Structure 1
Amino acid sequence: MKRTSRGFLLLIGLALNGGPTFATDHLDRRIGETILYERISPRPGKSFVIRVNTFLPSGPGPFPLVILNHGIDPDGSRDRVRFQVPAREFVQRGYAVMVPQRRSFGGSEGPRDWSDCQPGAYTREAQREIHATLRLALARDDIDTRRILLVGHSVGGLVGLKTAEQDLPGVVGVVNMAGGFRWENCDWQTPLLEEMRQAAASRIPSLWVYAENDRMFPPELARQLFASYRQAGGSGRLRVLAAHPGDGHLFFPERSGLQAWWPEVEGFMRAVGLPTRKVRHIAETRRPGESGFAAIGDVDSVPFVEHEREAGGKDYRTFLEAAGQRAFALSEDGDAWGWSVSANPLDEALEYCNTNSSTPCRAYALDQQVVW
């Protein structure tokens, strides 16, 4: 969730190249973020434009490619998933990173494309977005499509494994981060085990990574899924990480999980012949410490300009109710603000605030602390 003092406008029209444009399309230029568009046609007479957040190192390339696949939220969230934390690690090592926003997510056109308790039907449809992403990559001179790594989180992990069944040219490895497909009020484990068994048809090596406290796919289930895959002939290795702070299912996109999963991925990349040496350092935004300016819940102390105090206070209260990694940014004159709950909340909150401010913005609150 994000807000600014100028309001929150989601969809504002179509870009000249045919893709939807968003008022909140803030891009991380430090890691070369752009947005590409590609059309998919799931059936005759039906076509949709999807958006692909793309991160590129500086220089001419060609760069090996990582495709990051996001999960789904059965509760209905369609937020854009950018995977900035993982993308930064790969870009620093000279990789292009592409993050397709599947149908109905993050501004991609099309209806919700999954069926309850039918992981096979969903993954078949979701592979269209990966193929569209590969078409975009093949059309570029700065991407080396002979060296591709598929990485997926949650449902995206299952989608990556199922895509690897096709032994696509150039794909040298697949990484399943907390992968699976879970639904309530039905037998979802039986079809999921079968999908993992079928994924073993791939000859591409895989790495499976889960956390000890994953609420969606706990270690016992992860081991069952991996056993189904291995017993059917799949080539892979399973790693269960120590408990991740908060929700273990989110260890991959969150910054706090990076030190746990990166060594596993780095070793796997070396094993499949992909480079891992850092070729560029991209500095993170400095995280300020607690300042003692006010208590986190003291809405009246937030220094909004007087004519924005009511609107700003309303947004700050909403921010306080949000769960997860969060940040609230405020302009120095108190006239603009922005907030975010995401894997990279500080950068996003500052971007939203600065977009609508004539004076610089800085962090007011991070997680449970006031840092102003």
Structure 2
Amino acid sequence: MPLPRALLALTIGLCLAATATPAQEPLREEPGFLRVQIDGRVARLETLVVRPDRASGRLPLALITHGKAPSHTRMGDLRAVGYAAIARDLARRGWIAAVVVRRGFGQSDGPFSTEGAGCDLPNMVPRFESDAKELEAALKALTERPDVAPDRIIALGESAGGAAVMALAQRKPPGLKAVINVAGGLDLSDCVEKGRDALVATVRHWPWKDTVPQLWVYAGNDELFPPFLVDRMRGAALDRGGDVRLIALPEVKPRGHAALQNGRARFVWLREMDTSLRAWNLPTHSPGRPKTEFDRIGLEGRASVFENYFSAPGEKAMAVSRTGKSFTYRYGEKDLEAARRNALSDCGKKAEDCRLAFENDQAVDAP
């Protein structure tokens, strides 16, 4: 009994893929702890370092830090590995990416800083200053690694971590070149309007002069930091001489505040991050590579769609059909095997000679 066309195409694609040169994920992951000094005390901070495995010499450093959970119980549940996908996306761009868990969260030493930022005294400056001190101490420890370039550093933070990296920039640590703030701020749920005013006042309080450029990413439906609040914050920064580029994402479902981890949102803001990294003369994907690969494989049309693959979040894979001169890719999958399977399946609905061309950013199929 003949196989259905779609199943036949998938079977052929899987068989052909098996003959291609397998791509090995060229990353090395190092879970562990940093020993840092903060205000004269030694603390251990939970850390996950992800780096290109085959790169030599000193590599640029990307520090990544998290937001604040709504309860102390959930703060203890946080783990550095929860940010592994973001770290891998940066490591694939040539960075040593270090996820740093701040004091009082996850397996890091405590206590959590309770300075300021309460409804009775909604002053966020001391809270963000405390967080920034921790990140500065982490940078000092990380730049002692022999594989880190201490003069090429970026810091990326989510939610309260986004505010922390903004505060870090005000301290002007050596080597910091730029900051990426994704949905950054601090929410005072018991006094929302007071908290929003305090957040704007904090941004206005910072000096901003001669600080590094910043990329801000916020969703239009962020339930904690809506567009009118972000506009007030950015206006306060620009009025003080800040260099802030804002990416206003469309609606992110199911939660606008989850723009960092959301796969569809990452598909957009990672491309914008690449644009900013190039403007800052910092490493990222080569802008010429997509055209080179497009021509090498012998594809036609949709070159701009092909370009998007290289900025797309992992885990991802691309399948191509030479007879159809077409391609299909999947990104943001739970693992590489799922990305392979789904890319081949989608391609197999249109052609019978589908085979894998890329697994994440590695070419696996020579023409």
TM-score calculated relative to the size of structure 2: 0.66
User: Is 2:177–2:212's contact at 8 Å kept on the other side of the alignment?
Assistant: yes
Q: 2:133 aligns with which of 104, 120, 128?
A: 128
1:241 aligns with 2:249: yes
Q: What residue is the counterpart of 1:109 in the other structure?
A: 109
Task: Summarize the alignment of residues 9-24 of structure 1 with structure 2, pairs less than 5 Å apart.
Answer: none
CA contact (8 A) 1:166 1:202 kept: no
Change (3 A) 1:61 1:255: farther
Check 1:114–1:203 CA distance in 2 against 1; reply closer, same or farther (3 A cut).
same
Query: Runs of 4 or more off by more than 6 Å in structure 1?
Result: none
2:240 aligned to 232, 236, 240, which one? 232
Where does 1:117-196 land on structure 2 (aligned, <5 Å)?
117=118, 118-186=123-191, 187-196=194-203
2:71 pairs with 1:75? yes
Which whole-Å CA distance do the structure 2 matches of 1:103 and 1:261 have between them?
28
Alpha-carbon distance between aligned partners in 1 of 2:129 and 2:168, rounded to the nearest angstrom:
8
1:266 to 274, 278, 281: 274
**8 Å Cα contact 1:201/1:233 also seen in 2:** yes
* Alignment partner, residue 97 of structure 1: 97
Aligned pair partner of 2:48 in 46, 53, 67: 53
For residue 47 of structure 1, report the CA deviation from its aligned partner: 3.6
Number of residues of Structure 1 aligned to a counterpart in Structure 2 = 267
Contact persistence 2:48–2:84 (CA under 8 A): no
Q: Select the structure of larger CA radius of gyration.
A: 2
Unaligned ranges ≥5, structure 2: 1-24, 290-309, 318-331, 339-367
Q: Distance in 1 between matches of 2:26 and 2:315?
A: 9
* CA distances 1:66-99 after superposition (whole Å, capped 9, x unpaired): 1112110122312114422322221111110011
Amino acid in the other structure paired with 1:92: R
Distance 2:223 2:210 in 1: 28
Change (3 A) 1:122 1:158: same
Deviation (angstroms), 1:202: 4.7
Q: CA deviation at 1:64?
A: 0.8
2:297 matched to which residue of 1? Answer: none
Q: Contact 2:274/2:285 (CA < 8 Å) preserved in 1?
A: no
Identity of aligned residues (%): 28
Q: 3-state SS of the aligned residue for 1:32?
A: strand
Equivalent in 315, 321, 324 of residue 284 of structure 1: 315
User: Is the counterpart of residue 208 in structure 1 residue 239 in structure 2?
Assistant: no
The 3-state SS of whatever aligns with 1:163 is helix
Which letter maps to 1:231?
D
Q: Structure 1, residues 154-176: CA drift from partner, whole Å, max 9, x if none?
A: 11111111111122221111111
Aligned to 1:23: none
| RMSD across aligned positions (CA) | 3.0
Partner Cα distance (1:242, 1:31) in 2: 32
Are the equivalent residues in 1 in contact too, given 2:63–2:153 (CA < 8 A)?
yes
Residue ranges of structure 1 left out of the alignment (5+ in a row): 1-28, 287-343, 351-372
Shift of 1:62: 1.2
Q: TM-score, normalised by structure 1?
A: 0.65
Find the counterpart in structure 2 of residue 33 from structure 1.
Answer: 29
SS in structure 1 opposite 2:274?
helix
Q: 1:36 to 1:201 in 2, by over 3 A?
A: farther
| Deviation per residue, 1:141-198 (Å, 9 max, x gap) | 2111111111111111111111111222211111111111111223112221121123
**Corresponding position of 2:304:** none
Greater share of helix: 2
The equivalent of 2:265 in structure 1 is 257
C-alpha contact (below 8 Å) 1:197/1:232 kept by paired residues:
yes
Q: Secondary structure at the residue paired with 2:172?
A: coil
Contact 2:89 2:314 in 1 (8 A): no
Equivalent position amino acid for 1:108 in 2: S
